[in-house]
Structures are given as C-alpha cells and as structure tokens.
C-alpha cells in the first residue's frame, strides 16, 4: 500500500496542490491578487488519515506557519510547511518534510524556495532563487546518490512554487467565478514549469470535529492518472467562506483506499471566523 509508507508526503501534495498538467485552453492566468487572507503569526495543523476497506488510521501531521522576515534588504513573508510521520510509523518509513518559501508580503510571488525532505532514508534538497526582473529561476538540487546539479529556468510573471500557491489560492475572489469554472495557475515543480487547475464547485456547509459547522467554498482538484492517484476530479477540498479562506478538510481516493486530512489547530488567524455557523 503506497500511502502507508508515504503518508505525509501525500497530504503535502494535496494541501500544497502539487498537481499534474491539465487542459486550460481558452483561459489565462491571473496573478494580480493582494494578500488579505493571512498575516505573520498564523499557524495551521492537520491530521492525515488513511483508509482501506472500512478502517481509518491516523498516520501523520502537517503544519503550516507564516512569519515576517527580511531577505536582501526587503521585507518578506516566510511560509513554512512541515510534515512528520507518527512515531508508530517511523520504524517502517520515517518521513520528515520541510517546504519554505519567501514571498512578497502583498502579491505572494516567491523570491526564494527551499525543499528539504527525508523519506525512508532518501533525501531531496531543492533551492530556487527567483529573479523577477528577468523572469528567471536559478535552481540548485541534490538527491541521495546523485551529484548536485544547477539549472536556469525561464519562468512567467505568474509562476509560483508549491507552497506559495497554497496561499495564493486563499486570496482568489471566488465571487467572480461560477460553479464549474476552472482556475489555471503555473508552479515550478522539480525544475519544470507545470500548469495546473482546480474547479470551483460552489458553497457547502460541513462539520469539522472539534471546531463545529462552517459555511465553505468547495472545489475539486484535477489529477492525471499515475502511480498513486486515479485520473479525474475526485479530490475535494473545503475552505472557510470568510476572509481567512482556511482549508478545513480534504478527501481523495487513491489507487488503493483513500486519504483525508482535517484541521486540528488554527492560531493567529487574521480575521474572525465569520463562516462558523455553530461550535457543535
């Protein structure tokens, strides 16, 4: 069972929307958002669970934090996503993943990105520096048993990394879309530009254990069939229908069983939880 040995990496893929190429013909990217959803001090945590047949088991935890820092004499937002497998799984396949992005505080466009992951003895380190004036990204990468290599990649004005794209999507003005509309974006993933989209599905009320009932914005994520996912738009994501746009729950089938993630902690959020209908 693939997920049982890589649980946290999977939910990072889901939460960070590390998707595969999709058809977005007839649409253009929009990257003129203004960050209103998050601020320094925000911290979100999620439990990752896996199901095969009728049994669910918790396999890991994912955390996201936002802080303020200075890079190259400019103020930046420091976005940090980490994933850890639970100790009961470490004997089998230990996972320690870290994703960091330093972005413009207003536009959320990334200027630097680091990926440092350890998965069952296999390590991957990727470092991007974005030159926004020349629309170029400089990459330094290394993997277990492979020599370090460098690359220069031509990017577009609307290119994000796999962490900053999560915060970008939280700032989309969904009032300009109708249910069924798709929203395209571009990410730099493993030294290649990848076009992705998700489909706006409208509004829905859901309950979240420990937090109550919420009005939510719902969308599906397009997945191309591969070694882990079935093809199609079966992955579903719910975010709060308020100015925070906090991801609350994610469900997705995989080739064997299914996976879900739900929020277990939210601290330092910028706005009131006006989307919460009740605390039960």
Distance CA 20, CA 117 (A): 20
Q: How far apart are the first and last CA of the chain?
A: 35
Q: How confident is the model at residue 28 (pLDDT cuts 50, 70, 90)?
A: very low
Least trusted range by pLDDT, from 226-230, 238-242, 269-273: 226-230
User: Would you state the pLDDT for residue 52?
Assistant: 66
pLDDT, tens digit, 9 for 90 and up, residues 168-218:
888 988 888 899 888 877 888 888 887 767 788 999 999 999 999 999 999
2, 21, 194 from 140: Cα distances, Å: 29, 23, 18
Least trusted range by pLDDT, from 43-47, 69-73, 92-96, 225-229: 225-229
User: Would you state the pLDDT for residue 3?
Assistant: 35
DSSP 252: E
Structure-token pair, residue 167: 């915060």
Q: How confident is the model at residue 255 (pLDDT cuts 50, 70, 90)?
A: low
User: Would you state the pLDDT for residue 256?
Assistant: 62
- CA–centroid distance for 222 within its chain: 14
User: Would you state the pLDDT for residue 217?
Assistant: 93
- If you average pLDDT over residues 231-252, what whole number do you get? 83
Phi/psi of residue 37, nearest 5 degrees: -85, -30
- If you average pLDDT over residues 111-122, what whole number do you get? 86
Helix (H, G, I), strand (E, B) or coil at 169: helix
Closest alpha carbon to 100 in 158, 163, 165? 163
Widest distance between CA atoms in the chain: 54
Structure-token pair, residue 47: 């439990």
Q: How confident is the model at residue 234 (pLDDT cuts 50, 70, 90)?
A: low
| % of the chain at pLDDT higher than 90 | 46
pLDDT, tens digit, 9 for 90 and up, residues 148-180:
899 999 999 889 998 998 898 889 888 888 998
- If you average pLDDT over residues 68-94, what whole number do you get? 87
Please list, in sequence order, all residues whose beta carbon lies within 8 angstroms of the beta carbon of residue 226, skipping any fewer than 6 positions away.
Answer: 20
pLDDT at residue 253 above 80?
Answer: no
User: Which one is predicted more confidently, 11 or 82?
Assistant: 82
Tell me the average pLDDT of the chain. Answer: 82
- If you average pLDDT over residues 92-104, what whole number do you get? 87
Q: How confident is the model at residue 119 (pLDDT cuts 50, 70, 90)?
A: confident
Q: How confident is the model at residue 65 (pLDDT cuts 50, 70, 90)?
A: very high
Residue tagged 């939280």 (tokens): 170
Distance CA 224, CA 133 (A): 33
């Amino acid at each position: 069972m693939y997920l049982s040995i890589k649980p946290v990496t999977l939910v990072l893929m889901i939460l960070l929307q590390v998707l595969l190429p999709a058809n977005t013909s007839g649409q253009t990217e929009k990257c003129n958002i203004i960050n209103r959803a998050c601020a320094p001090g925000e911290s979100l945590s999620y439990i990752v669970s896996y199901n095969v047949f009728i049994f669910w088991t918790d396999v890991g935890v994912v955390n996201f934090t936002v802080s303020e820092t200075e890079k190259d004499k400019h103020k930046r937002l420091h976005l940090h996503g980490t994933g850890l497998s639970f100790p009961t799984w470490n004997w089998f396949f230990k996972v320690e993943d870290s994703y960091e992005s330093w972005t413009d505080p207003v536009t959320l466009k990334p200027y630097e990105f680091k990926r440092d992951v350890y998965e069952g003895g296999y390590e991957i380190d990727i470092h991007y520096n974005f030159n926004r004036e020349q629309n170029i990204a400089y990459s330094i990468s290394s993997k277990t048993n492979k020599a370090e290599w460098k690359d220069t990649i031509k990017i577009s004005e609307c290119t994000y990394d796999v962490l900053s794209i999560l915060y970008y999507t939280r700032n989309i003005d969904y009032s300009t879309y109708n249910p069924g509309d798709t929203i395209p974006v571009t990410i730099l993933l493993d030294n290649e530009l990848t076009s992705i989209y998700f489909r706006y599905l409208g509004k829905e009320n859901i309950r979240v254990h420990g937090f109550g009932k919420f009005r939510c914005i719902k969308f599906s994520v397009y997945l191309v069939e591969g070694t882990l996912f079935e093809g199609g738009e079966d992955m579903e994501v719910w975010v709060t229908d308020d100015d925070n746009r906090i991801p609350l729950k994610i469900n997705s089938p995989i080739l064997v069983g299914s996976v879900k993630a739900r929020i277990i902690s939210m601290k330092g959020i910028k706005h009131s939880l006006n989307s919460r209908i009740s605390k039960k």
